[in-house]
């Protein structure tokens, strides 16, 4: 799968993957995820339909998110325990990066 | 309903531009067939994108179309270039050497995506990695066809027209040359596309770091 290489560069998640995981902490559908990412990043990060589709399918395959319902013919996704673990690891990694950067640049966190 | 005869060869972007021009004239795409596009008059404005979907099976394509619908995007299946040659719903694919039976793969190599124009740009792939892997997929397909044609070309040049198939030698010579011209035309078209794609991929790769 082509996307695996993109998602796991040096253990870091891509921004798109990370935001999708956060967007499905409460069950959300494709359109909801798209809007969530755009709103939360003030339009800095926009997920195109092809990118979103690829990322969701990859996360489903990895078992980090799951399909929970099919009501009204709209598919809803929710994060799994495994996915939450991944998010925790990523938060720690980002915190670590920030701490180092703040120390070096002399900015107080 | 307005019917337009239009064939785009390897230039997917040109097709996109044309569809977006039509929407500016107040026309909305309602149906596609091998050689025609059907439009209806519409007050709303739309944005069109053409996606290369040859690597998706019929089931995958249906799933993708359903996903797009949830995002408010309409899609139309469309053939690439003139469409494939098929007999009794079976199409021969020289790339995989298989005959495809699935109706979804017959002449639906492309997917036209339609979104209401909300003033925001319409991009199918928004990360650099996705853009690169998408372009590479198209390039691989073109390269396979190019290779196939380049192998066939010398065979075509060396083979003397066999008598018996059609009696007239003159007719056979014309026939052979006609095929030769078409083959060279397609080889050149593909080559231009491959070079274009390679430049696009290189530009994207430079963006990465």
Q: Write the residue in A29, A47, A53 that is nearest to B64 by C-beta.
A: A53
Q: Say yes or no for a CB contact (<8 Å) between A49 and B70.
A: no
* Contact yes or no for B36/B4 (Cβ under 8 A): yes
Q: Say yes or no for a CB contact (<8 Å) between A50 and B129.
A: no
* Contact yes or no for B111/B149 (Cβ under 8 A): no
Which of B11-15, B133-137, B155-159 is predicted least confidently?
Answer: B155-159
Query: Distance (Å) from the C-alpha of residue B31 to the closest C-alpha of chain A?
Result: 22
If we measure between CA atoms, which residue out of B54, B48, B61 comes closest to residue B14? B48
Q: Are strands B74-78 and B86-87 parallel, antiparallel or unpaired?
A: unpaired
Which of A87-96, B24-33, B35-44, B91-100 is predicted least confidently?
Answer: B91-100
Residue B131 has pLDDT above 90, yes or no: yes
Pairwise CA distance, residues A8 & A62, whole Å: 12
Taking the mean position of all CA atoms in its chain, how far away is CA B39? 20
Residue B108 has pLDDT above 70, yes or no: no
Q: Does B118 touch chain A (CB under 8 A)?
A: no
Q: Does B205 touch chain A (CB under 8 A)?
A: no
B187 Cβ neighbours under 8 A, 6+ residues apart: B146, B149, B150, B153
Q: How confident is the model over B40-57, as a mean pLDDT?
A: 87
Q: Angle at the Cα of A79 (from A76 to A81), degrees rounded to 5? A: 145
Q: Does B148 touch chain A (CB under 8 A)?
A: no
Give just the sign of the alpha carbon dihedral B91, B97, B102, B108. Answer: negative
Q: Angle at the Cα of A28 (from B70 to A85), degrees rounded to 5? A: 135
Residue B94 has pLDDT above 70, yes or no: no
- Give the DSSP H or E segment for B131: helix B128-158
End-to-end CA distance of chain A: 39
Q: Say yes or no for a CB contact (<8 Å) between A3 and B133.
A: yes
Q: Which residue has the higher pLDDT, A108 or B32?
A: B32
pTM for this entry: 0.81
Helix (H, G, I), strand (E, B) or coil at A77: strand
Q: Does B59 touch chain A (CB under 8 A)?
A: no
* Contact yes or no for B120/B73 (Cβ under 8 A): no
Q: Say yes or no for a CB contact (<8 Å) between A49 and B73.
A: yes
Q: Say yes or no for a CB contact (<8 Å) between B51 and A6.
A: no
Residue A19 has pLDDT above 70, yes or no: yes
Q: Could you read off the pLDDT of B69-82 as tens digits, one per residue?
A: 999 999 998 887 66
ipTM for this model: 0.82
């Amino acid at each position: 799968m082509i996307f695996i290489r993109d998602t796991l560069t040096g253990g870091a998640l891509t921004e798109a993957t990370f935001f999708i995981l956060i967007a499905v902490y409460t069950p959300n559908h494709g359109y909801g995820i798209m809007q969530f990412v755009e709103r939360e990043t003030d339009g800095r990060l926009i997920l195109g339909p092809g990118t979103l589709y690829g990322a969701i399918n990859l996360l489903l395959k990895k078992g980090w998110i799951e399909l929970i319902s099919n009501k009204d013919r709209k598919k809803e996704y929710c994060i799994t325990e495994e996915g939450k673990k991944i998010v925790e690891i990523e938060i720690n990694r980002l915190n670590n990066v920030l701490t180092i950067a703040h120390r070096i640049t002399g900015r107080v966190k | 309903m307005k019917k337009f005869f239009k064939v785009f060869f390897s230039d997917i972007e040109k097709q996109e531009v044309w569809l977006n021009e039509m929407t500016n004239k107040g026309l909305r795409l309602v149906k596609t067939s091998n050689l025609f596009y059907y439009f209806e008059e519409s007050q709303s404005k739309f944005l069109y994108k053409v996606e290369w979907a040859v690597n998706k099976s019929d089931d995958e394509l249906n799933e993708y179309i359903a996903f797009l619908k949830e995002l408010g995007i309409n899609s139309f299946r469309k053939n690439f270039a003139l469409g494939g040659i098929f007999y009794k719903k079976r199409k021969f694919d020289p790339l995989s050497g298989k005959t495809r039976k699935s109706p979804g793969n017959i002449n639906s190599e492309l997917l036209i995506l339609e979104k209401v124009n909300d003033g925001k740009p319409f991009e199918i792939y928004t990360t650099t990695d996705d853009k690169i892997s998408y372009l590479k997929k198209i390039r691989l397909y073109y390269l396979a066809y190019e290779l196939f044609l380049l192998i066939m070309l010398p065979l075509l040049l060396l083979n003397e027209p066999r008598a018996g198939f059609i009696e007239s030698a003159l007719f056979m010579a014309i026939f052979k040359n006609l095929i030769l011209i078409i083959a060279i035309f397609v080889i050149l078209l593909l080559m231009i596309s491959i070079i274009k794609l390679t430049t696009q991929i290189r530009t994207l790769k430079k963006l990465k770091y």
